[in-house]
Structure formats: C-alpha cells, structure tokens
C-alpha cells in the first residue's frame, strides 16, 4: 500500500510538472499591439511603508516624473508603525503621509485595509487604486498602462515586477532570474491563454468599485495571493500588463532572503488550507480552467514540500539501504526522457533571459549559483510547514537607494 502511494505521488508531481512546463511555452510569443487610450482614469497611489526613510525619497521623486496628468493621481504613503522620519520625508515632497499606530495588527495587509477605509471617507474619490512598496520605482508610463487596461475592461491588473538591484549579490541575481522567468513564462503565458494572472504584492492596480464591493480582507502573510484567489472565486481574473514596469529591491544576503521566503511559504500554507478545495470544486463544477489553474497554484507550497520529502527519502534509501527499495518513475521512463526533462527545465530559465532581452553577462554567470537558490526553497518550505501558524509580519529592511536611470544602465552592463 505504501509503495502504491509513493508511485501515485510521483505520478501527480510529474503531471503537475508537465502541465506547468506546457503552459510556459505559451509565453514565448508576445503580442506587441496594445490598445492606447487617452488618460481617463484617476488613481490613488498607496505606498506601504514601515521605517523606510532610507529609500522612500527615491520613490517620492520617481512618482513626480510619471507621464500622466498630475491632477489625475495622488500619492498616499501608509506610515505603518513608523518610528523614523518616513512621514516627514513624504510631506517634504508634497505627498500625503497617513500615520498608523497599531502594534497588535501589524503587517501590510492590515495597513492596506486601514488605508482603504480612510480613502473611501475622503471627499475626492478615485477610479482606481495602485499599490506599491516603499522600495519600488515605476516606469514613466506605468499609470498610462494601467489606464489602458482599465479602459479595456480590466478590473485587477498586475504590472511587470522587475529587480532594481540584480547585480548586488548572488542572491539578488537569483531573484532577478526568477522574476524574469515568471514574468515571461508564467504570467505572459496565462495572458496569452486568457487565464487568470497572479498578483505579486506590488505594482498592482484595482478598480476602486471592485475593492468597495469585495472589501480588502486580505490580511494573511501573503495578501497578494489571498486577494488573487478571492478575485478568481468571484469571476474576476487579474490581468498582466507586460509594459507597466515596477522595480523592486531584493534582499542582499541569504539570511534576509530566507527570512522573506519563509514568510511567503508560511502564508502560502494558510491560503492553500483555506481556498484550495473550495476553488477546485468550483472549477470542476463550472469547467473553468482559470479557476482550476489558480487552485493548483495555491498548493504549489505542498508540491515543493512533497518533492523535498520524496527526494530526501530516495537519497537516504540509496545511500544507506542500497536502494531504491520502492518503485520509482525512473524505472519506467527511458533514460533519454529523464535527461531531456532536466535539460528542458534548465533551458527554460536561459530562454526567459534571452526572450526578455537580458544582456548582462553577470546575470548569465549567476546561473552557476542559481541551483543553490532553487534548492534552498526545500528546507525553507519544510520549516514553514511546522511554523505555518505564525502570524508575525517579518519586515525586510531596505537600504539600497537606486534611481531609475541607474536601473536602466545596469540592465545592459
């Protein structure tokens, strides 16, 4: 019986892998025609900040240079439990600093929920809400692209999340490779197939009325994934805007990266428990591929965990007990197919870099250490499983001040 379960798990994991790889191929093609509209929508730009005096100045300057009528957007910085000069810096730039002090409900999800209530009480009401992080920078056409999608009927939009510091360390380079891959072969593929895209925590835009109707309600450690699932359950598929770039600062060290990814995995377990089965059942009843795909994505954290446990079991069995002592898929697959699958997986990341026009030799050189970054997800996810009830927000400290012209210059160096 145990052997049958082990084989079944291997078959399920292999099927999920083939499914995801097949979908990624639809991201190779990119349509270049994108309907343009004159500025029509007004935007409230919300920036979540906790003790961000080191980096907030660059974003405040950046938002002044956005190519959009200045009377059609305003910036509100949520100074969440700040004890530094973040609010003062924001006000010096002429933007609105909204100070929140609540030591019992800490975290980005609670801060956004609080800010939205304040926003809806203001005399001026906006057509849409954009959400950014304090360490971000946006491309000059960001709001114009959001306007284009809103005018085309979209209600929830995710911009292209890029990395503003890929050359700072091998960790930031690994993040860069991951995000270029996800944008091109994960998000764009689903756009081309007219499926639901996934929110990434920043560079997001929401129709204001949708937020009022649904409420925010996403207060888990991964509020972006939680709100994505709630949207899809309600028949609203988030869309991906390839041209609207938001540049995000990534942790410099492995320790800081592991802490951030641990929080993500803890939150993913929460969302998976809460939404997987209801969304899966709904997708089957409605025969809705977008809902099925989203449900499958919510349990990615479990596929990583099970893959880790199975691989570890196989290694121990082979090393200590002269294994394998249980059936494995490798016994039934020809050797050439196993080799092709490994090569194809590695080639997908290189393909994504080429398709995205990455020219930096340092990024390609970072592929040598990239497998270490990928494998480190295994123990992080394993530990997250046993600490998934943790609700304490772990803040990532941002200290790297980068301007937009520096980002563009370094992407080709």
Distance between CA atoms of residues 158 and 187, nearest Å: 9
For 287-307, write each residue's pLDDT tens digit.
999 999 999 999 999 999 999
Of the pLDDT bands very low, low, confident and very high (cuts 50, 70, 90), residue 256 is: very high
**pLDDT (mean) for 79-104:** 91
Three-state SS at 104: coil
pLDDT given for residue 103 in this prediction: 80
Provide, rounded to the nearest whole percent, the portion of the chain with pLDDT above 90: 73
111-124 mean pLDDT: 93
pLDDT category at 398 given cuts 50, 70, 90 is low
pLDDT in tens, 303-343: 999 999 988 988 888 888 887 777 777 777 777 777 788 78
Q: Which long-range contacts (CB under 8 A, 24 or more apart) does 269-272 make?
A: 269/301, 269/302, 269/384, 269/385, 269/388, 270/220, 270/221, 270/222, 270/388, 271/220, 271/222, 271/225, 271/226, 271/229, 271/298, 272/298, 272/299, 272/301, 272/302
Cis peptide before 216 (omega within 30 of 0): no
User: Looking at residue 395, what is its pLDDT?
Assistant: 57
Secondary structure (DSSP) of 235-304: T---EEEEEEEEEE---SSHHHHHHHHHHHHHHHHHHHHHHHHHHHHHHHHHT-HHHHHHHHHHTHHHHH
3-state secondary structure of 164: coil
Give the pLDDT score at 401. 64
Tens digit of each residue's pLDDT (9 = 90 or more) over 128-169: 999 999 999 999 999 999 999 999 999 999 999 999 999 999
- Checking if the pLDDT of 403 tops 80, the result is no
Indicate the pTM of the whole model: 0.91
pLDDT higher than 80, residue 358:
yes
Q: Cα(342)–Cα(356) distance, rounded to whole angstroms?
A: 22
CB 267, CB 222: distance < 8 Å: yes
Q: Say if residue 243's pLDDT is above 70.
A: yes
Residue 177: its pLDDT value, please? Answer: 97
- What pLDDT does residue 407 have? 65
Please state the separation of Cα 277 from the chain's center in Å: 22
How many helices and strands (H and E) does the chain possess?
A: 17, 8
Structure confidence at residue 47 (pLDDT): 95
Q: What is the mean pLDDT of residues 73-102?
A: 93
Query: What ranges in 122-236 are assigned the alpha helix state H?
Result: 142-151, 170-182, 188-192, 208-214, 223-233
Helix or strand holding residue 398 (H, E): none
Q: Which of 172, 174, 169, 82 has the alpha carbon at shortest distance from 134?
A: 82
Q: pLDDT tens, 159-174?
A: 999 999 999 999 999 9
pLDDT at 275: 96
Q: At what angle do helices 2-24 and 289-298 cross, to 10 degrees?
A: 120
Is the per-residue pLDDT at 89 higher than 60?
A: yes
Residue 410: pLDDT band with limits 50, 70, 90: low
- In the prediction, which pLDDT does 75 show? 97
**Which pLDDT belongs to residue 207?**
97
């Amino acid at each position: 019986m145990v052997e049958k379960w082990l084989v079944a798990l291997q078959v399920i994991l292999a099927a999920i892998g083939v499914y995801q790889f097949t979908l990624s191929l639809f991201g190779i093609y990119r349509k270049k025609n994108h309907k343009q509209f004159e500025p029509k929508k007004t935007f409230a730009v919300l920036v979540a900040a906790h003790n961000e005096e080191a980096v907030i100045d660059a974003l405040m300057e950046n938002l002044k240079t956005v190519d959009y009528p200045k009377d059609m957007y305003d910036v509100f910085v949520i100074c969440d439990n700040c004890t530094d000069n973040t609010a003062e810096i924001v006000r010096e730039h002429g933007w609105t600093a909204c100070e929140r002090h609540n030591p019992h409900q800490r975290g980005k999800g609670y801060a956004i929920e609080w800010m939205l209530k304040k926003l809806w009480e203001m005399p001026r009401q906006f057509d849409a809400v954009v959400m950014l992080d304090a360490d971000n920078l946006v491309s000059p056409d960001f709001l114009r692209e959001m306007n284009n999608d809103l005018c085309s009927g979209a209600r929830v939009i995710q911009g292209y999340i890029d990395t503003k510091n890929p050359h700072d360390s091998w960790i930031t380079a690994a993040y860069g490779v991951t995000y270029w891959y996800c944008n091109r072969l994960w998000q764009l593929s689903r756009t081309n197939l007219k499926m639901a895209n996934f929110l990434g925590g920043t560079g997001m835009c929401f129709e204001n009325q949708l937020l009022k109707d649904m409420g925010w309600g996403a207060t888990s450690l991964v509020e972006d994934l939680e709100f994505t699932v709630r949207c899809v359950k309600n028949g609203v598929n988030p869309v991906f805007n390839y041209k609207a770039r938001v540049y995000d600062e990534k942790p410099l060290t492995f320790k800081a990266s592991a802490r951030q990814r641990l929080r993500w995995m803890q939150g993913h377990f929460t969302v998976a428990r809460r939404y997987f089965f209801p969304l899966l059942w709904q997708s089957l009843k409605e025969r809705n591929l977008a809902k099925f795909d989203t449900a499958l994505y919510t349990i990615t954290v479990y596929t990583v965990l099970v893959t880790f446990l199975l691989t570890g079991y196989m290694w121990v069995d082979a090393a200590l007990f002269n294994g394998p002592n249980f059936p494995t898929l490798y016994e039934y697959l020809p050797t050439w197919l196993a080799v092709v699958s490994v090569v194809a997986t590695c080639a997908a990341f290189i393909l994504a870099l080429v398709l995205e026009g990455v020219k930096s030799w340092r990024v390609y050189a970072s592929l040598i250490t990239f497998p270490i970054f990928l494998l480190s997800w295994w123990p992080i996810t394993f530990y997250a499983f046993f600490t998934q009830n943790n609700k304490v927000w772990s803040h990532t400290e941002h200290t790297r001040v980068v301007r937009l012209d520096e980002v563009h210059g370094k992407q080709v160096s």
